[in-house]
């Protein structure tokens, strides 16, 4: 973990392992030297088949996506949603569950010029150690995995870049 990450306090990024933003969160953790994990559906289900074994996820007892979504919200200190425009589907559910469980929530729209410093301030203010990263799957937002990965790597870079 580099000095910038230590000052942020984030030790682990979790997600449900779905394509898109979930995978970007896990990939960013691995690239930036953070722990990663979280819950995924029984059978390691994702829209592209089985979630690859390099993602260290625990399977819920259920194959239903909402079960792992809620468990990741509960087990995290806060949830960061990366999206494009309005929330829908599982991303909207994540937002509602974070509110239900009174977990800090930040929604960042990747359209335009999202602020890495805003995310860094939010992480520090809430003393986030375990961060749940969520957002749309790749099939509903083509290219969002790469866009979210690039943004997360800037958030956790030693010197933040706007």
Which tens digit of pLDDT belongs to each residue from 80-128? 999 999 999 999 999 999 999 999 999 999 998 899 999 999 999 999 9
| Helix H or strand E segment including 95 | helix 89-100
Q: What angle do CA 123, 151, 25 make, to 5 degrees?
A: 70
Confidence of residue 129 (pLDDT cuts 50, 70, 90): very high
Residue 83's DSSP bridge partners are: 109
> Residue 7's pLDDT is what?
56
Mean pLDDT over 21-49 rounds to 97
**H or E element that contains 49:** strand 49-50
Question: Residue 5 — pLDDT band, cuts 50, 70, 90?
Answer: very low
Average pLDDT of the segment spanning 50-68: 97
Give percent of the chain with pLDDT exceeding 70: 93
Cα–Cα distance measured from residue 111 to residue 102, given in angstroms and rounded to the nearest whole number:
27
> What's the N-to-C CA distance of the chain in angstroms?
21
The secondary structure of residue 31, as a DSSP letter, is: H
Do 113 and 76 contact (CB within 8 A), yes or no?
no
Average model confidence (pLDDT) for the chain? 93
Write down the pLDDT at residue 159. 62
CA distance 33 to 66: 28
Q: Percent of the chain, pLDDT > 90? A: 90
The pTM (predicted TM-score) of the whole model is: 0.93
Domains of the chain: 3-155 (3.40.50.450)
Say how far apart CA 82 and CA 72 lie, in whole Å.
16
Cα angle, residue 149 at apex, residues 65 and 102 outer, rounded to 5°: 50
- Other C-beta atoms closer than 10 Å to the C-beta of 87 total 18
CB 60 within 8 A of CB 40: yes
pLDDT at 130: 98
pLDDT of residue 65 exceeding 80: yes
């Amino acid at each position: 973990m580099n000095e910038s990450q230590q000052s942020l306090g984030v030790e682990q990024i979790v997600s449900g392992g779905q394509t898109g933003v979930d995978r970007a969160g896990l990939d960013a953790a691995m690239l930036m030297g953070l722990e990663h994990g979280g819950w995924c559906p029984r059978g390691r289900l994702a829209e592209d088949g089985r979630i690859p074994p390099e993602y260290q996820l625990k399977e819920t007892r259920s194959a239903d996506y909402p079960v792992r979504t809620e468990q990741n919200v509960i087990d995290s200190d806060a949830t960061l949603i990366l999206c494009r425009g309005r929330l829908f589907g599982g991303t909207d559910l994540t937002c509602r569950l974070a509110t239900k469980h009174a977990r800090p929530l930040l929604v960042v729209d990747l359209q335009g010029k999202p602020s890495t410093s805003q995310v860094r301030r939010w992480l520090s203010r809430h003393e986030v150690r375990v961060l749940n990263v969520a957002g749309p799957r790749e099939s509903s937002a083509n290219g969002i995995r790469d866009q979210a990965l690039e943004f997360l790597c800037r958030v956790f870079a030693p010197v933040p870049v706007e």
